[in-house]
Each structure stands twice: as C-alpha cells, then as structure tokens.
C-alpha cells in the first residue's frame, strides 16, 4: 500500500488508537513472519523494532543497517499485513527528514520512532532543542506528503543514565515537552520505570506516552491505570521467543 489516500487513512487510524489510560499495544515485529503472527493474534497495528530487525539480518543495533535496508525490510512487512505499521528509525540514519518520511511512506509505513542518541556521531545525545528541531522537520515533511505520519519522539536519558538521578525525570519531561511542541504525537521515555514514575510522566506530559513491556511477564492490565497511551515490546518479544526456541531445540541435541 503506497497511495497517499490509503496511507493517510492508516496514519489516522494509528493515531486514533493512542488513548491515555486505554493503551494501544503495538507488538514489536522484525519481519513478515512476526508481523503475520501479531496480526493473526488480533492486533490492530504494529511497530517495527530496530533491535530485533537488525538481529534478524545479522547486523548490530545502533544503525548497523542502512536506511535503504530498513526501507526494504519494512516494505516486506507492509506487503504481508494490512494494518498500520510504525518503524523505529533509531536516530534517523544520518538522513534528512524529507528522505526519512519519503522512504517510510514508499515502504507503506505511517509512523516512526525518533531517538535523541546520534549513532552516526559517536552516540552523542542531541540537545533538547536539536531533537525538537528534527521532530519539527519530520512533521513538516509528513505534512508536505499529505500523510499525518505518527511521530513518536523518544528520549534515551533513562537508558543512558544521563546526568544526575535526582532530576532525570524532570529533564526528560522538559525534553519531551519540547518535542511535543515541535509536532510529535507520542512521547517515549524509553526504559523500564517504576509505576509512580510512569504515572508522573503520563500526568505531566501533554501527549500519550509509550511504555515498554516484557510481553511474557508484565501484567497487561497494569499500564492503563498509570495513564499510558501506547505499549511496545522493544527487543523483548523476540528474546522471549528465542528462549522458547532454545528450550525446544535443547530436546534434540
């Protein structure tokens, strides 16, 4: 699916699924097989994870794949399923916003995660203003293309343990609020958080927040009461499947 009207409908449908307190679960997939599994299980939309996707082709996470390789894999996924698909594009693969949006739309995707660690520049952390500027450029490129690509602005402050513990949540809120003002639709303080931290993030941020879950062990009902609007699995669904696969194979060694 690549015509603008169909993409626009998928983008609008994806955005409408984000309801704080009634979170949409977007299983994190990496190929057509995993995407078909998730859709057959009844999920209405998907996200493609950079980490599991890179693992599936023998590349490292952290932009070990090229953007062209990502577009090719995403095209395989969207060709296999008829649901909205978002894509983790890491820090943008050093591509301009217009090329990112054009590439994703050409692949049939209607959403993206953009993080503030710049892998192509020694994994430095973008300033909050710089990250917001990129979010704004992605929004402008999507507007020009006529599709409201769902922009999920991510900060890695928690993953990186950046700065002092005491004010990290404050700094994440300020950073993500700036991205929201620049045109994001969803905010992603990536990391595993205590319930009170998730509740504070959901309460103080102006847009739905994305939480990461361990699909084999977290309680699906625990996120809604905290105000979360979106749940994804990062690399953890693939890892859980890997554990089960190893158990099966171990019987045959």
For the chain, domain boundaries: 4-236
pLDDT of 6-38, one tens digit each? 999 999 999 999 999 999 999 999 999 999 999
Pairing of strands 85-88, 46-48: parallel
Q: Is 3.30.2130.30 the CATH number for 4-236? A: no
CA-closest candidate to residue 171, choices 181, 161, 183: 161
Centre a 10 Å sphere on the Cβ of residue 112 and count the other Cβ atoms it contains: 23
Helix (H) and strand (E) counts in the chain: 10, 11
Which residue has better confidence, 162 or 151? 151
pTM given for the model: 0.96
pLDDT band at 162 (very low <50, low <70, confident <90, very high): confident
Banded pLDDT at 2 (limits 50, 70, 90)? low
Task: Report pLDDT for 1.
Answer: 47
3-state secondary structure of 106: helix
Q: Average pLDDT for residues 227-238, to the nearest whole number?
A: 98
User: Any idea what the Cα angle at residue 248 is, between residues 246 and 250, rounded to 5°?
Assistant: 65
For position 54, what pLDDT does the model report? 98
- Convert the pLDDT of each residue in 54-84 to its tens digit: 999 999 999 999 999 999 999 999 999 999 9
Mind listing the pLDDT tens digit for each residue in 97-109? 999 999 999 999 9
**Residue spans of alpha helices (H) in 86-231:** 97-106, 128-145, 157-160, 168-182, 195-204
What pLDDT, on the 0 to 100 scale, is given for residue 4?
A: 94
First to last CA, the chain: 44
Q: What is the mean pLDDT of residues 121-146?
A: 97
Q: How many CA atoms lie within 13 A of 118 on its CB side?
A: 13
Mean pLDDT across 113-125: 97
CA dihedral over 33, 36, 41, 43, signed as positive or negative: positive
Q: Is the pLDDT of residue 122 over 70?
A: yes
Q: What is the mean pLDDT of the chain?
A: 97
Sheet holding 230-232, edge to edge: 24-26, 230-232, 210-212
Question: Please, are residues 156 and 116 in contact by the beta-carbon 8 Å criterion?
Answer: yes
Beta bridge partners of 154: 188
Q: Could you report the per-residue pLDDT of 85-94, keeping only the tens digit for each?
A: 999 999 999 9
């Amino acid at each position: 699916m690549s015509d603008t009207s169909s993409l626009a409908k998928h983008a609008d449908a994806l955005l409408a699924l984000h309801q704080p307190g009634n979170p949409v679960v977007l299983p994190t997939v990496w190929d057509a097989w995993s995407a078909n599994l998730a859709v057959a299980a009844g999920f209405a939309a998907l996200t493609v994870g950079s980490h599991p996707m890179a693992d599936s082709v023998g590349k490292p996470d952290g932009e070990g794949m090229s953007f062209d390789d990502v577009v090719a894999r995403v095209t395989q996924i969207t060709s296999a399923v008829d649901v909205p698909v978002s894509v983790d594009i890491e820090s943008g693969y050093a591509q301009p916003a217009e090329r990112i949006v054009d590439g994703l739309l050409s692949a049939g995707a209607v959403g993206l995660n953009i993080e503030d660690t710049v892998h192509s520049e020694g994994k430095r952390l973008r300033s909050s203003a710089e990250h917001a500027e990129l979010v704004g450029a992605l929004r402008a490129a999507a507007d020009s293309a006529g599709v409201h690509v769902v922009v999920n602005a991510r900060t890695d402050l928690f993953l990186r343990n950046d700065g002092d513990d005491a004010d990290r949540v404050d700094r994440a809120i300020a950073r993500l609020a700036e991205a929201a003002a620049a045109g994001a639709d969803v905010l992603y303080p990536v990391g595993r958080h205590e319930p009170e931290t998730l509740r504070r993030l959901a309460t103080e941020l102006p847009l739905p927040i994305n939480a990461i879950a361990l699909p084999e062990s977290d309680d699906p009902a625990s996120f809604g009461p905290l105000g979360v609007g979106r749940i994804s699995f990062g690399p953890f669904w693939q890892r859980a499947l890997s554990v089960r696969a190893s158990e099966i194979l171990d019987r045959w060694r």
